[in-house]
A = this chain, B = another copy of it.
Amino acid sequence: MARDASRVEAFSDAVIAIVLTLMAVELLQFSPDAPNGHGLAAALAHEWRSYLAYVITFGIVGQVWLTHHNMWRYVCRVDQMLLVLNLLLLMFVAAIPFTANLLSDNLRGAAVEQRLSAALYVGTVLGEALFFNLSWWWARRRGLLHPDLDPRLAKAVARRFLLGPLLYLVAFAVVFVDPILSLLAYLLLIALYLIRGPGDLPPAGREAAEPG
């Protein structure tokens, strides 16, 4: 049984790891319209938005991994539907490098293109968050979670998963004020999210009452 869940984890890890690394390939480069005539320093400076997008998107995908890691610790059985929900989650995660690249390419563009690419970016992030929520809801409903998991903790995790999409929508909305501010809002959110909440790993030192 545990073996089933661990194969899902390994597969999801591989997809997330590749997404993290491909993002580096897509975002850490000179765009074709860089003013190459002005030397390396100028070309790099011209690309700073891409490098900021790399850091933020690494933060978002890194947090996807953390959340996946924390959530799947409690899953002790899988069924066909949970696997399908996890694949749909990964379909959105795999699209993040594309939308992140689109966003960083359009940060300098017209307001309408900034907003469209920001909407696509938040769309992939929301799609990923949606399937986290559905996975957790399905696993709770179908009794796939570890029997020793406190139902109140399971409920608190569900509430926390609902919060994520709302916060991302706020960060997205800032694009109507300023696209760079919007990226910084994502960064702030990720930092906030890393403050421990229900379902996270317990702080070390205190003996973990975790299942498994």
A204 near B143 (CB under 8 angstroms)?
yes
The residue among A14, A19, A54 with the most chain B CB atoms within 10 A of its own CB is A14
The distance in angstroms between the C-alpha atoms of A77 and B120, with both chains bound, is: 38
Which of A89-97, A169-177, A180-188 contacts its partner?
A89-97
A49 to chain B, nearest CB (A): 16
A84 near B66 (CB under 8 angstroms)?
yes
The distance in angstroms between the C-alpha atoms of A91 and B52, with both chains bound, is: 12
Whether A194 is near chain B, meaning CB under 8 Å from some CB there, is yes
The residue among A4, A6, A9, A204 with the most chain B CB atoms within 10 A of its own CB is A204
A15 near B21 (CB under 8 angstroms)?
yes
Count, chain A residues at interface, CB 8 A: 73
- Chain B contacts of A116 at CB under 8 A? 40-41, 44
Q: A22-B25, A55-B91 are in contact. Are A1 and B98 (CB under 8 A)?
A: no
The distance in angstroms between the C-alpha atoms of A30 and B205, with both chains bound, is: 51
B91 near A66 (CB under 8 angstroms)?
no
A204 near B142 (CB under 8 angstroms)?
yes
Whether A78 is near chain B, meaning CB under 8 Å from some CB there, is yes
B78 near A201 (CB under 8 angstroms)?
yes
A4 near B109 (CB under 8 angstroms)?
no
Q: Tell me the nearest residue of chain B to A79, going by C-beta.
A: B204
B95 near A1 (CB under 8 angstroms)?
no
Q: Tell me the nearest residue of chain B to A24, going by C-beta.
A: B94
Chain A 131-188 residues near chain B, CB threshold 8 A? 142-144
The residue among A3, A17, A18 with the most chain B CB atoms within 10 A of its own CB is A17
Q: Tell me the nearest residue of chain B to A200, going by C-beta.
A: B80
- Chain B contacts of A84 at CB under 8 A? 62, 66, 194
A197 to chain B, nearest CB (A): 10
Apart from A79-B204, A144-B204: 8 A-B pairs, beta carbons within 8 A = A11-B69, A14-B14, A22-B25, A25-B98, A58-B94, A80-B200, A84-B194, A143-B205
Closest 9 CB pairs of A and B: A14-B17, A28-B98, A142-B204, A18-B21, A62-B87, A79-B204, A24-B94, A11-B13, A40-B113
